[in-house]
Amino acid sequence: MIKINLLPHREEKRKQLKSDFYGLLLLAAIAGALVVVVVSAYFGRELSIQTEKNEFIKKENAKLDDRIKEIATLRQEIDGLKARQQAVEDLQGDRNQPVYLLDELVKLTPEGVYLKQLNQDGQKVILGGYAQSQDRVAEFIRNLGNKSDWMYKPELNDIHSTGLGQGRDAKKVFEFKVNVNIKRPREREEAASQAAASAAALGTAAPATAVQAQVSASQAADVGKKP
């Protein structure tokens, strides 16, 4: 016997499916909202932490800038103190410059040259006097430039012929002026150290050159022996 269900079961099934679908949609919406809230909270916390780190870095950079300014100020003060110390040392060393200068002039002034003027302006000295000839003046300048430990770079400022005395005692001489620089004691010591270092370098280079010459001579001898 065939049984036929005349109840509207299809409509009820459709309604059930619809209700299930809407329920799933609601659950998906709730889950999505929860995910968004959790992710937003996570990134908000990370952003807050990064902001705090940035603020900390800015504060530390500001502190470092202040310290750098303090260091720059200290360096300026140290440079100023060094400059003052150097000025005091130069003043103490310059007190003996006239003694060294006069001693050098006594040794380096050739015969036939008479000095009548000696003026010092800072580290420059102006020498004036008379000479029997221009050759004497040239010799005096060479001595100042090559044989003096304290004076350097002499320059002839003026030279002209003039007469000394009257009547039979009148003599023709050459009046001159020479500008020359004078070294400070520390500059003289630095120049002496550089000269010693150059001499040492030349002394070490000379044996090597001799060895090379010996090697070249032996090679030439060997070549000469070959048929």
Helices 97-108 and 134-146: angle between axes, nearest 10 degrees? 130
- Kind and range of the H or E run holding 56: helix 9-94
Residue 220's pLDDT is what?
44
Q: How does pLDDT run across 24-72, given as a tens digit for each residue?
A: 888 899 998 999 999 988 988 899 999 999 999 999 999 899 888 888 8
Please state, in angstroms and rounded to a whole number, the distance separating the CA atoms of residues 127 and 38. 95
**Residue 178: which of 203, 151, 150, 205 has the closest Cα?**
151
| Structure token pair of residue 40 | 């937003």
Query: Which homologous superfamily does the CATH classification assign to the domain defined by 97-185?
Result: General secretion pathway protein M, EpsM (3.30.1360.100)
Determine if residue 167 is left, alpha or beta; phi over 0 gives left, psi from -120 to 50 gives alpha, anything else beta.
left
CB 152 within 8 A of CB 183: yes
Domain residue limits, the chain: 17-95, 97-185
pTM of the model: 0.49
Between β-strands 151-164 and 113-121, what pairing exists: parallel, antiparallel or unpaired? unpaired
Rg (CA), the chain: 49
SS3 content of the chain, % helix, strand, coil (to 5): 70, 20, 15
Ranges of residues in the chain whose predicted pLDDT is under 70: 1-9, 90-94, 167, 188-189, 191-192, 194-195, 203-227
Between β-strands 171-182 and 151-164, what pairing exists: parallel, antiparallel or unpaired? antiparallel
